[in-house]
Structure 1
Amino acid sequence: MKKLIAGALGALLAVGMTACGSDSGNGGGTTDGGRVALIAKANSAEYWMKVKEGAEAAGKELGVEVTFNGPDTESEGDKQLNQLQTAINDKPLGIGFAPQDGAQDGAPRLMDDAQAAGIPVVVFDTPLAGSDVPLATVASDNEGMGAQAAEKLVELTGGEGKVAIIAHGEVGTAAARRDGFRDYIEQNAPGMEVVDVQNGESDPAKSRDKAQGILQAHPDLVGFFGTDDDSTIAIADEVDAKGLHIKVVGIDSSPDVLTLLTEGKIAGVIVQNPFNMGYQTVELLVNASKGEEPTEKNIVSESIWVTPDNIDSEEVQQVIG
């Protein structure tokens, strides 16, 4: 894991200082070198702001302007498709796109439009089904992260007892993480059973309601997995409110997740490197605008396991700080 993360951390160290000086608006790195447009799943969550920082840092280093847009929430597929169409109409050097679940069906047609307009596209965070147009996909190994979370939970619980999942959707990254977790348990922990899986829709209130319902039905759980920060926070808060001794693991960080980790209410989370994901996406698009296609179609953005014991380590702080 350390070797795999080294490249991502190197990019962070190399450009971290420029990220701190990025513009406060949607654009960053304004120059005469052209413009790259990124359409994220959302425009304000901590994770997406880290993607934006990395993208703008790359823009400043490579001499291009970077615009960053996205819907207010991750459940506005039609709005995101409209934003993608607007970006295509503006004819930037390249477009980075992180498809929401609700945009998966409509996006392939717009990918064809981008290709017809001669605009290179790189997909980030979440693979896009149904289109071969994107030059590359920059994403974490979501199924692998789900499996890693399961592996860690097996270690934490001894591999015996009931566990449950709250996912942040039913397709895309949520499904990959959910299935990676569930498959690992089924194949490697015969003494452990996944007794319930619920969709919290990446909504804090809905996720909390789902956690409450699961715990009412299964107060004897030994472990609980959340596929994103909202679901993990909801699980940890509900477990704590009920005074239960259940090991909580999840994927993605936020200030609230890190606080709950420090307090020991979350046993561990797998943290992606969104800064490096944004940086890589812009770098690939700038290269593509110069006729340089990526050597790989699928580019893995590495992640790291964070616990109360290692949260203050230099390696972790370089990713979450």
Structure 2
Amino acid sequence: MSIRASILTTALCGLLAFAAPAFAGGATVGPNGEKPTPSSDLKLTDAEVAKLKEGKFTAALLWHTSSDFVTAVSAGATDEFTRLGIKVVATTDAGFDSAKQLSDVETVMAKSPSAILALPLDPVGSAKAFQAAKEKGIKLVFLSNVPAGYKQGTDYVSIVTDDLFQMGKQAADQLAKALGNKGKVAWIFHDAQYYVTNQRDNAFKSTIENDYKDIKIVDSKGIADPARAEEIAQGLLTKTPDLDGIYVTWAEPAEGVLAALRSAGNTKTKIVTLDLSEPVALDMVKGGNVTGIVADKAYELGRAMATDAAYGLLGKEAPAFVVAPAITITKENVADGYKQSLNRDAPKSVIDAAK
């Protein structure tokens, strides 16, 4: 779910309003409290693959936007569909517009796909958008969110997202490692009721509080508009100039926090954030303030979504809620991290600086 720098924008914050359920024993839970199933548990037998290839099934990918993240999810899904003999007949980009998503569904319906993969842009609007596909028996697999009133196993096959708790936990572990397990940190969280970021942010906070007794969260600030990140960071540094570390909810606002630290001539305070961005990764490999980035495995998200769709086409019971792994990326593994997350090479600037 991710969702990831590319989709966690101010526009999206206004569209998605899912309350984040409480953690279940330190694990990611679904929008309705579903227990997680690792994406690695999704498997098809040789006989099932042969049956899918005989079925002449088709699929459509109805995305919410275009980005490196979406490109990687699409690649993972397309590669798996190709392996299963399922033809992708349409790929769309709603541009964060729920009305456009409805139009995209209507357009794609003319191609009669057997399965649709999509990220619903808002609960009520998406319930209407996918109604016709649901009634026609098209197998629906959703990324991170679910339309209002839809029931798993009846209206859709499965939800697939990141291991949200692990993303926050790994961020806490990485920052703690950089600080030698002690110090004063600030927590910049996403100030919106949004299922994905809420779980990630709270996982960081709970991990620091529970696992690192000598690290204290001495200040916290919510952020809804990434453009305010530099201003917020300046306020934190004015109040507590000797901060040892800062957690930032995702990479775009982390760029603003980094700018504030540079303006203050601060080379000491460490940053940890979630989701890949070239400026943040470049600072990290140059030995700057950024100590690590935790990212999702977007390509694996796509593979899992396609496999879930195959479960639906086979009439095979699918898990309600599937999570793909998180990965901690540092200077030492940045090239491999980009490959694992986005299934592409790291930017040339990052590779050159890492040398």
Q: How does 1:161-240 map to 2 (within 5 A)?
A: 161-167=184-190, 169-190=192-213, 191-193=215-217, 195-201=219-225, 203=226, 205-240=227-262
Q: Can you give the 5+ residue segments of structure 2 that lack an aligned partner in the other structure?
A: 1-36, 42-54, 346-355
Structure 2 partner of 1:99 = 120
How many percent identity over aligned positions?
Answer: 22
Q: Distance in 2 between matches of 1:195 and 1:171?
A: 22
1:307 is aligned, of 321, 326, 330, to: 330
Partner of 1:27: none
1:284 counterpart = 2:308: yes
Structure with more relative contact order (C-alpha pairs < 8 Å, separation 6 or more): 2
In the alignment, the residues of structure 2 paired with residue 108 and residue 179 of structure 1 have an alpha-carbon distance, to the nearest angstrom, of 28
Q: Distance in 1 between matches of 2:147 and 2:80?
A: 23
- Would you say 1:51 and 2:73 are equivalent positions? yes
Cα gap change, 1:217 to 1:85, in 2 (>3 Å): farther
TM-score, length-scaled by structure 2 = 0.69
Q: Paired residues, what number?
A: 286
Q: Report the alpha carbon displacement of residue 166 of structure 1 after superposing the two structures with TM.
A: 4.1
SS at match of 1:267: strand
Asked if the contact 1:138–1:277 (Cα under 8 Å) also holds between the matched residues in 2, the reply is yes
Q: TM-score under structure 1 normalisation? A: 0.75
Q: Which moved more, 1:147-156 or 1:174-183?
A: 147-156
1:139 corresponds to which residue? Answer: 161
The CA RMSD measured in Å over matched residues stands at 3.2
The one-letter amino acid paired with 2:138 is I
Could you tell me whether the CA contact under 8 Å between 2:174 and 2:291 is conserved in 1? no
TM alignment of 1:70-81, pairs within 5 A: 70-73=93-96, 76-81=97-102
Structure 2 residue 163 is matched with structure 1 residue 121: no
Distance in 2, matches of 1:6 and 1:288, equals 16
Q: Give the secondary-structure state (helix, strand or coil) at the position aligned to 1:310.
A: helix
Larger-Rg structure: 2
CA 1:293–1:89 in 2, change beyond 3 Å: closer, same or farther? farther
Given that 1:168 and 1:227 are in contact with CA atoms closer than 8 Å, whether structure 2 keeps it comes out as no
Which ranges of structure 1 fall in alignment gaps of 5 or more residues?
9-31
